[in-house]
Amino acid sequence: MSSTTAPSSSVAAGSADASGARRNSKRPKYSRFTQQELPACKPILTPGWVISAFILVSIVFIPIGVAALFASRDVVEIVKRYDTDCIPLSERNDKVKYIQSPGNKTCTRNITVTKHMKKPIYVYYQLDNFYQNHRRYVKSRNDAQLRSNGSSDDVSGCSPEDYSNGLVIVPCGLIAWSLFNDTYNFSRNNQQLSVNKRGISWKSDREHKFGKNVYPRNFQNGTLIGGAHLDDSIPLSDQEDLIVWMRTAALPTFRKLYGKIEQDLQENDVIEVTLENNYNTYSFNGKKKLVLSTTSWLGGKNDFLGIAYLTVGGFCLFLAMAFTLVYLVKPRQLGDPSYLSWNRTPGCH
């Protein structure tokens, strides 16, 4: 490429140096770097390049989009909203009072499986309008305390859930305090469907983030109960619901893994869910949903990526064709000096 050719001046420089006329000459030493003549590749956006790039993009994107759409379609997902339904009709005008009052809040719902679901079937609870990413909330935790027994007195950042009756709370902070405490029991044809609640959290969290020798203390002892209680005899590293909950969600509508059903479900199976409706989302109009879902290589049911890929791929294909057309209709010779502004009458711009 033309950039690699050294101009004559630098050649002269070299020869002058060779003659060694002056020892203390300040002549800059010649190197391709200092003379800004490093070998360089100078790509230019030629029509050929651009059109092939767009075709390449569409060739890659359209199949991916199709595959993603298929993957998403393969996923069977059953969503059951229960926050309102699980409140007796008489109590529905003051749901907050109902949920705060003591007593058994068991509720039974039926779910019909729409399509064959292969194991493992993931059970999620979905909360809407719950800002787990709220600044006050997301900061209200102490990772050091969770990790090791030695720092169990470290409750900085946890207020207002740091001390209860003057004693340190473990795990402290709003996040732990508001641990989700609805429970689900599934049965099919009056036969219990077991839900595996082991391994629902990240292995890295269990092993390194939540201590094996850290036990809950003083938890949920205050005047205001936020959510679930924890068994004081189980170390935090085994409290998987807590671990899952404490991976705060990025968005205000989120799902959290509740467990896995390790059996296939047949189409038109009716699943009876016995749930304990304890968690208070009513005070902020949050919705609660129970989700049963299979999974694909792309995760859960979400058509967006497939559509996005198809759109982008299609658009690029269109652009490639449009460019080709325009190029054929009105080509321009690259580097034609007659286009230079001082060689032509004013036109473009």
Partner 1 sequence: MDSNASIESESYRSFSSRRSISSHHSKLSASNSIGEATCAEMGSKKVRHGSRGGADSEGFNLSQKEISDEDARFVYINDPARTNERFEYARNSIRTAKYSVITFLPRNLFEQFHRVAYIYFLVIAILNQLPQLAVFGRGASIMPLAFVLLVTAVKDAYEDYRRHRSDRIENNRLALVLVDGEFRDKKWKDIEVGEIIRVRANETLPCDMVLLSTSDPTGVAYIQTINLDGESNLKTRYAKQETLSKILENMSSGLIKCEKPNRNIYGFHANMEVDGKRLSLGASNIILRGCELKNTAWAVGVAVYAGQETKVMLNSSGAPSKRSKLEKRMNVEIILLSFFLITLCSIVSVLAAIWLRRHRDKLDNIPYYRRKDYSETDVENYNYYGWGWEIFFTFLMSVIVFQIMIPISLYISMELVRVGQAFFMIRDGGMYDEASNSRFQCRALNINEDLGQIKYVFSDKTGTLTENKMEFRSASIWGVDYSGGNPDLQSEQVAHEVEVDGKILRPKMAVRADPELLRLARGGRESEQGKHVYDFFLALASCNTIVPFVVDTEDPSVKLVDYQGESPDEQALVYAAAAYGFMLIERTSGHIVVDVQGEKQRFNVLGLHEFESDRKRMSVILGFPDKSVKVFVKGADTTMFSVIDRTSNNNVLQATEGHLLSYSSMGLRTLVVGMRELSNSEFDKWYIAFEAASTALMGRAALLRKVASSIESNLCVIGASAIEDKLQLGVPEAIESLRMADIKVWVLTGDKQETAISIGYSSRLLTSRMNQIIINSNSKELCRKSLEDAIIKAKKLSGPNVSSNMEGSSGAVTIPVGLIIDGTSLVYILDSELEELLFQLASHCSVVLCCRVAPLQKAGIVALVKKRTSDMTLAIGDGANDVSMIQCADVGIGISGQEGRQAVMASDFAMGQFRFLVPLLLVHGHWNYQRMGYMILYNFYRNAVFVLILFWYVLYTCFTLTTAINEWSSVLYSVIYTSVPTIVVGILDKDLSKRTLSKHPQLYGAGHRQEVYNSKHFWLTMVDTIWQSAAAFFIPLLAYRKSTVDGPSIGDLWTLAAVILVNLHLAMDIVSWTWVTHAAIWGSIVATVICVIVIDAIPILPGYWAIFHAAGTWVFWLCLLAIIVAALVPRLVVKFFHQYYCPSDIQIAREAEKYGRLRDHGTVEIEMNPILEPPRR
Among 28, 48, 150, 199, binds partner 1 (CB under 8 A): 28
Q: Any contact of residue 219 with partner 1 (CB under 8 A)?
A: no
User: Is residue 297 packed enough to be buried (19+ CB in 10 Å), middle (13-18) or exposed (0-12)?
Assistant: exposed
Q: Any contact of residue 223 with partner 1 (CB under 8 A)?
A: yes
Q: Any contact of residue 164 with partner 1 (CB under 8 A)?
A: yes
Q: What are phi and psi of 272, to 5 degrees?
A: -100, 125
Q: Any contact of residue 30 with partner 1 (CB under 8 A)?
A: yes
* Residues 102-121 interacting with partner 1 (rule: CB under 8 A): none
Give the strands of the sheet with 191-193, arranged side by side.
106-112, 270-276, 183-188, 191-193
User: Alpha carbon of 305 to those of 31, 65, 126, 316, 325: distances in Å?
Assistant: 51, 7, 21, 16, 30
Q: Smallest distance from the beta carbon of 273 to partner 1, in angstroms?
A: 19
The single-letter DSSP state of residue 7 is P
Rg (CA), the chain: 33
Q: Any contact of residue 339 with partner 1 (CB under 8 A)?
A: yes
Query: Tokens 């057309």 appear where?
Result: 325
Q: Any contact of residue 143 with partner 1 (CB under 8 A)?
A: yes
CB nearer partner 1, residue 328 or residue 348 = 348
Q: Smallest distance from the beta carbon of 278 to partner 1, in angstroms?
A: 13
Q: Any contact of residue 314 with partner 1 (CB under 8 A)?
A: no
Q: Any contact of residue 192 with partner 1 (CB under 8 A)?
A: no
Q: Any contact of residue 90 with partner 1 (CB under 8 A)?
A: no
Q: Smallest distance from the beta carbon of 143 to partner 1, in angstroms?
A: 5
Q: Any contact of residue 184 with partner 1 (CB under 8 A)?
A: no
Q: What distance separates the 2 farthest-apart alpha carbons in the chain?
A: 106
Residue 59: how many other CB atoms lie within 10 Å: 15
Among 18, 89, 224, 329, binds partner 1 (CB under 8 A): 224
- Contact yes or no for 244/259 (Cβ under 8 A): no
Q: Any contact of residue 55 with partner 1 (CB under 8 A)?
A: no
User: Alpha carbon of 53 to those of 262, 322, 334: distances in Å?
Assistant: 46, 13, 19
Among 19, 26, 328, 329, binds partner 1 (CB under 8 A): 26
CB nearer partner 1, residue 151 or residue 187 = 151
User: Alpha carbon of 16 to those of 7, 29, 30: distances in Å?
Assistant: 15, 11, 11
Binding map of partner 1 across residues 228-257, x = CB under 8 A, - = no contact: -------------------xxxxxxxxxxx
Q: Smallest distance from the beta carbon of 321 to partner 1, in angstroms?
A: 13
For residue 339 the two structure tokens come to: 């286009």
Q: Smallest distance from the beta carbon of 22 to partner 1, in angstroms?
A: 7
